[in-house]
Amino acid sequence: MTEKSDLPQGTLDLLILKVVALGPVHGYAIAQRLEQVSRGVVQVPQGSLYPALHRLENRDLLASDWEETETGREAKFYRLTRKGRTQLETEAASWQRLIDAVGLVLKLSEGGVK
Amino acid sequence: MSWWQRLLRRRKMEDQLDKELRFHIEQHTSELIALGRDPQEARRQARLALGGPEQVKEKCRDARGTRWLEDLLQDFRYAIRMLGKQPGFAAVALLTLALGSGATTVMFTVVNGVLLKPLPYPEPGRLVAVHGHSDSWNTAVYGEQNVAYPDFLDCQRSSRSLAMAGFVYSGGILGEPGTPEFVDRREITSELFSVLGVPLFRGRAFLPEEDRPGGAPVIILSYSLWQRRFAGDPRTVGLSLILDDKSYTVVGITPPRFQLDGEEGDVFTALGQDTAGYLRNRRAHPVGVVARLRPGATLAQSSAELGLIGRQLAAQYPDSNAGRSFVATPLHPDVEDVRSTLWLLLGAVGLVLLIACVNVASLLLARAVSRDRELAMRVALGASRGRLVRQCLTESAVLGLSGGALGILVAAAGFRPFVQFWPGALPRADEVQLDWRVLLFALTASLVSGLLFGLAPALRAPVRDVEQTLRAGGRTMAGSSRRLHSGFVISEVALAVVLLVAAGMLGRTLLRLSSLNPGVNIRNVLVTRMALSPAALSNPAGIRAAWQDVLDRARRVPGVESIAAVDTFPMRQGENQLGYWNTPAVPPENQQPLALATSVTPDYLNVMGIPLLKGRFFDDHDRRESEPVIVIDEVLAQQAFGTQECVGKRLWIPGMSGPNWSEGNDSLRVVGVVGHVRHWGLARDDQAPVRAQFYYPFAQVPDSALRRWSELMSIAARTNIPPLNVVESLRLELRGATGGATGDQALYQVRTLEQLASNSLARQRFLLLLFGIFAGLALLLACIGIYGVLAYLTGQRVPEFGVRIALGASARDVMRLVLRQSLGMIFVGVGVGIFAALAAGRLLMHTVDGMQSTEPSTFAIMIPILTVAALLASIVPARRASRIDPVRALRQD
């Protein structure tokens, strides 16, 4: 098993938004997908997943409907609102900038900047 | 979904949350089973992965953003449950608050209607009043000055910033159809209703061409006259009626409750049709002017413009208009008379509310101390400090709001009786209604008072040391709490002292004023205004004959001893102030001393019972042709002549000389001196700016002024039976038959002199009654408060008293201990109260006529009353403490 990392502060919202952007999905599936996609590196604390979902819904970034799953059970499906999509785009962009910047800094040779 | 929808659908959301989490666990479980786990183990693992379902739910609820409201609702329900559990406490607290907030809300309702509401016209902020100013006019003495009609017309024509309208007070006898009746008439210009922005209820306003000499005779009726005399018949418009022997066509009806200058009036006629001389004279100033700022114009612009017009008129008519100018001021309802009284009462009632708050605060604090264990338990279970403070404040807010709601009920029931109870007519009484301002006030007052009395218990609750509190079981008591309790008692006592002393001052004042000599014999005197038949008013000789006839007829009425005609009465509104001088070198108008002039017939002195001090009074030989004479009162004698003999001397009175008044005579001869009459009423006369009086014979009023004078005259009758019993026969006897036997003479405003004297003290009596009630309430509340606090304090000291008694203290010793504690608090309260009462007394002196500064005797009477009442309230707890069974008390700990 690979080493697991804790999620940096504030990234859970971003990840949830990204997963939901792919299509309507219920809470359990979000947890599954996050774990699969990150190849088990990102461990989503399930206890904080639902409060996060409710918070995002409360901020009108997500909307929800009760629909039937393929197994015929009723579940709460989340989807992205227009506001949520904008939020996802800005946050993804700023995240990307941050990674690039951090990457640049880490690539410096140890001799110092010339 | 908005937050309130979420709140309303809370139940559904809880279900959904539950369902969502269950789905998660079941999905996870079935997946684990599919991987080959044992079903029970799979379920366990799935639950572990999610975490405690309640914690997750709680976090989800937090994420919803309605947490504070849910807590509030929870606290709210808890508070109501707590109140329900202690019905005694709840009843006392609610009753106290309902009284305090009810009385305050009633007073505020009146203050709001009379003082705060804008005038009931559209856009009242754009309305202005226009007054005349002149260098020789002393506004402080005379009040604002109206405008001459020609000046008004000039201003109206020239002003670009103001749309102006004018009105003149007058009266008349409304004849057919129906019985003749004296009516209040306003002569108005055609623009009046459009300037005020008031549409007529029926019909139309006057047309500009009707507001001119020779215009068609048209009349507008007030709504109430229309209801009273025509039963609200819609066909009244178009009807013709007789006013002062002239036929008018009704063209309009005013809307209900329409008022002009604070009065309703009965009928309106066109001012421009009136050809009376005084309306052509720029020296007479009868026209009241209201105006509306034209769109875009400002008050400053209009004032500048009026100043300019005033200067132009002064240049054009130097004789009449030199030094005259016009000013525009925002139009306000005329409520100066009651303003200070109303604020005073609101302040007094506010003190009662404050005492009520202190009372409830001490009750709450006592309860909070005994709830220490409960609160400590909550802290131990993880409640935060802020949460506890919020809970306590919610409880007191619930109390405050319920008290406020009860207060609104009290006010809704109480403000109408209060307004009716007001002595005389309360201006703008129609406007006194419960409205959003009153509700807002009551709500704010009850919330603020809730915070006020809830803060102390709330803040002290969580500071307690949890462990110690739990162990001590709420028996020990922090010193700060005892000090707080004493503070409550002290402030209650102090507030009660203020109200008691104020009531005492008013009582003394009233006693003193009622024992004053009004200067007339007020028993068995009937006074009534009298409108002569319009037919008699055509020429001066007719008027003189008509008055003579009235007096002769009245003298024949059984029960009438003597009768006189007079233009102004003591103790009733209306007076004629004239400047005088004791040498021919009369100074300018604004430097002349003033005296009250009264024109009378010779029997006046007998009717009123005024003592003749020197010389003689008038008789039938004082006629138009003989030398003009006056009789002065002792005040004028002192002011004009000092200690010198004054009978036979002369006075120069510019208002009564000149070509119109007395041909060839520039002065009047003083023929007698009579006693001073308290013209301004028992209370106000001492402080009145003009007290000096003189009388002149009605027979010497010049022909030119006779008609105007005749409209002002009243008759006064001394009777040998109760005066109101002669009214009907007098009315019948005087109705008919002067000159043309038209039967259209009317008596109106019939009063007795006793009523007038009593009315002149009505304000003081009313204030005394209210302050008496407030003081009684304050005393009662303070006693309840003292009782509650002492009962609580002694309850806390039961073990201590037990030890004392066990060690040999007698019951009397313990009682003395408790009473000493109580006396200490009472004395400090009285001390603080005395200083506050001195300040309040000064305030009263400025607001109430005839009030004298606080006398030590008032304190000497009131403070023992308070102390005794407070001590009585302390005796019950003290006796209870003295009867403590030491064995049981010690075992209790």
Residue B520 has pLDDT above 50, yes or no: yes
Return d(Cα B512, Cα B10) in angstroms, integer: 69
CB contact under 8 A, B27 and A28: yes
Instruction: Give SS3 for B346.
Output: helix
Interface-testing mutation among A46, A48, A61, with chain B (most B C-beta atoms within 10 A): A46
**Is the Cβ of A58 closer than 8 Å to some Cβ of chain B?**
yes
Query: pLDDT tens digit string along B207-246?
Result: 999 998 888 999 999 999 999 888 888 888 998 888 888 8
For residue B248, count CB atoms less than 10 angstroms from its CB and return exposed for 0-12, middle for 13-18, buried for 19 or more: buried
Best-predicted range by mean pLDDT (B487-501, B525-539, B779-793): B487-501
- 8 Å CB contact of A54 and B27: no
CB A48 to CB B59 under 8 A?
yes
Distance CA A112, CA B555 (A): 128
For B696, the enclosing helix (H) or strand (E) is strand B693-697
Give B50 to chain A, closest Cα distance, Å. 5
* Number of other residues whose CB lies within 10 A of the CB of residue B426: 22
Q: How confident is the model at residue B504 (pLDDT cuts 50, 70, 90)?
A: confident
DSSP B237-282: TT-EEEETTEEEEEEEEPPTT--BTTB--SEEEEGGG---GGGT-T
Interchain CB distance below 8 Å, B60 and A28: no
Q: How confident is the model at residue B204 (pLDDT cuts 50, 70, 90)?
A: very high
Residue of B nearest to A76 (CA): B20
Q: Which one is predicted more confidently, B1 or B749?
A: B749
pTM: 0.69
Distances (CA, A) of B677 to B668, B692, B763: 21, 9, 20
> What's the average model confidence in pLDDT over B377-383?
71
Q: Are B123 and B197 in contact (CB under 8 A)?
A: yes
First to last CA, chain B: 57
Q: What pLDDT score does B673 carry?
A: 93
How many angstroms separate the CA atoms of A26 and A20, rounded? 9
Q: In the 8-state DSSP scheme, what is residue B113?
A: I
Residues B294 and B280: their CA atoms lie apart, in Å, by: 28
Of B117-126, B418-427, B601-610, B762-771, the range with the lowest mean pLDDT is B418-427
Pairwise CB contact (< 8 Å): B24 & A46: yes
- Disruptive mutation site among B20, B54, B61, B66 for chain A (greatest number of A CBs within 10 Å): B20
Q: Where are the beta strands (DSSP E) in B116-233?
A: 127-134, 162-174, 181-188, 202-203, 218-221
Count of C-beta atoms within a 10 Å radius of residue B348: 25
Q: Write down the mean pLDDT value for chain B.
A: 83
* Residue A6: strand pairing partners: none
Residues of B in contact with A76 (CB under 8 A): 16, 19-20, 23
Query: Among candidates B106, B755, B102, which has minimal Cα distance to B420?
Result: B106
Task: Find the radius of gyration of the CA atoms of chain A.
Answer: 17
Q: Is the pLDDT of residue B858 over 80?
A: yes
pLDDT at B739: 45
Residue B45 in tokens: 């693992």
How much is the pLDDT for B217? 92
Q: What is the pLDDT of residue A7?
A: 67
Judged by a CB distance cut-off of 8 A, whether residue A111 touches chain B is no
State residue B486's pLDDT score: 82
Give the DSSP H or E segment for B455.
helix B436-460
Q: Report the b/e string of B149-179 with b at 16+ CB within 10 A.
A: bbbbbbbbeebebbbbbbbbbbbbbbbeeee
**CA-based nearest distance A15→chain B, Å:** 18
| Contact between chains at A26 and B23 (C-beta distance less than 8 A) | yes
Cα angle for residues B405, B411, B417 (degrees, 5° grid): 160
More confident residue, B5 or B800: B800
Residue entry with tokens 């799979």 = B42
Is residue B740 predicted with pLDDT exceeding 50?
A: no
Q: What is the CA radius of gyration of chain B?
A: 38
More confident residue, B66 or B828: B828
* Helix, strand or coil, per DSSP, at residue B532: coil
Residues of A in Cβ contact (< 8 Å) with B47: none
Residues B336/B144, Cβ–Cβ less than 8 Å: no
Cβ atoms of B455 and B363 closer than 8 Å: no
Query: Which of A28, A55, A73 is facing B28, going by the closest CB pair?
Result: A28
Reply yes or no: is the peptide bond before residue B570 cis, omega within 30 of 0: no
pLDDT value at position A5? 56
For B457-499, the pLDDT digits (tens) are: 766 654 555 555 555 544 454 555 677 778 888 888 898 888 8
A107 Cα to chain B: minimum distance (Å): 38
Query: Which residue bears the tokens 């915070």?
Result: B451
Using DSSP bridges, classify how beta strands B162-174 and B288-293 pair: parallel, antiparallel or unpaired: antiparallel
Confidence of residue B658 (pLDDT cuts 50, 70, 90): low
Size of chain A, expressed as the number of residues it contains: 114
CA–CA separation, B171 and B154 (whole Å): 26
Tally Cβ neighbours within 10 Å of residue B32. Answer: 19
Task: Let me know: does B411 contact B437? Beta carbons within 8 Å.
Answer: no
Whole-angstrom distance, CA of residue B225 vs CA of residue B183: 9
**Which residue from B minimizes the CA distance to A43?**
B49
pLDDT band at B507 (very low <50, low <70, confident <90, very high): confident
Which amino acid, B570? Answer: P
Residue B582: pLDDT over 60: yes
Q: Are B490 and B782 in contact (CB under 8 A)?
A: no
> From the CA of B303, how many Å to the nearest CA of chain A?
57
**Chain B residues with beta carbon closer than 8 angstroms to that of A26:** 23
Answer yes or no: are the C-beta atoms of B94 and B100 closer than 8 Å. Answer: no
pLDDT at A2: 42
CB spacing of A47 vs B27 below 8 angstroms: no
Q: Does A55 touch chain B (CB under 8 A)?
A: yes
pLDDT in tens, B163-195: 999 999 888 888 766 777 888 899 999 999 999
Is A27 at the interface with chain B, CB within 8 A? yes
How many Cβ atoms from other residues are within 10 Å of residue B74's Cβ? Answer: 12
Query: Which of B49, B52, B63 is the closest to A54 by Cβ?
Result: B63
List all residues 6 or more positions away from B870 whose beta carbon is below 8 Å from its beta carbon.
Answer: B493, B782, B783, B786, B822, B826
Percent of chain B with pLDDT over 70: 91
> Greater confidence, A36 or A42?
A36
Among B300, B278, B192, B176, residue whose Cα is nearest residue B229: B176
Helix axes A27-37, A46-58, angle to 10 degrees: 120
Neighbouring residues of B136: CB distance < 8 A, sequence distance ≥ 6: B323, B588, B589, B590
Q: Give the pLDDT confidence score for residue B3 in this predicted structure.
A: 58
C-alpha distance from residue B323 to each of B132, B145, B302, B310, B311 (Å): 10, 14, 19, 9, 8
CB of A84 within 8 Å of a chain B CB? The answer is no
Q: What is the pLDDT of residue A1?
A: 38
Give the whole-angstrom CA distance, residue B865 versus residue B101: 26
Q: Which element (helix H / strand E) includes A63?
A: strand A62-68
pLDDT band at residue A114, thresholds of 50, 70 and 90? Answer: very low
How many Cβ atoms are within 10 Å of B880's Cβ, its own excluded?
A: 18
Å from B68 to nearest chain A CA? Answer: 15
Rounded to the nearest angstrom, the minimum Cα separation between A99 and chain B is 29
DSSP B80: H
DSSP B519: S
Lowest pLDDT segment from B401-405, B570-574, B628-632, B671-675: B570-574
Task: Name residues whose C-beta falls within 8 Å of residue B439's C-beta, 6 or more positions apart in sequence.
Answer: B408
Which residues have C-beta within 8 Å of that of residue B807, sequence separation ≥ 6? none
What integer is the mean pLDDT of A8-21?
83
Closest chain B residue to A58, measured at CA: B64
pLDDT given for residue B603 in this prediction = 92
Cα–Cα distance for residue pair B356/B787, rounded to 1 Å: 14
DSSP three-state, residue B224: helix
Q: Chain B partners of A55 at a C-beta cutoff of 8 Å?
A: 63
Cβ atoms of residues B730 and B554 within 8 Å: yes
B736: pLDDT confidence band, cut at 50, 70 and 90?
Answer: low
Query: In the structure, what pLDDT confidence band is assigned to residue B254 with cuts at 50, 70 and 90?
Result: very high
Residue B115 DSSP one-character state: I
- Token pair of B291, please? 């105006």
On whether any CB of chain B is under 8 Å from the CB of A48, the answer is yes
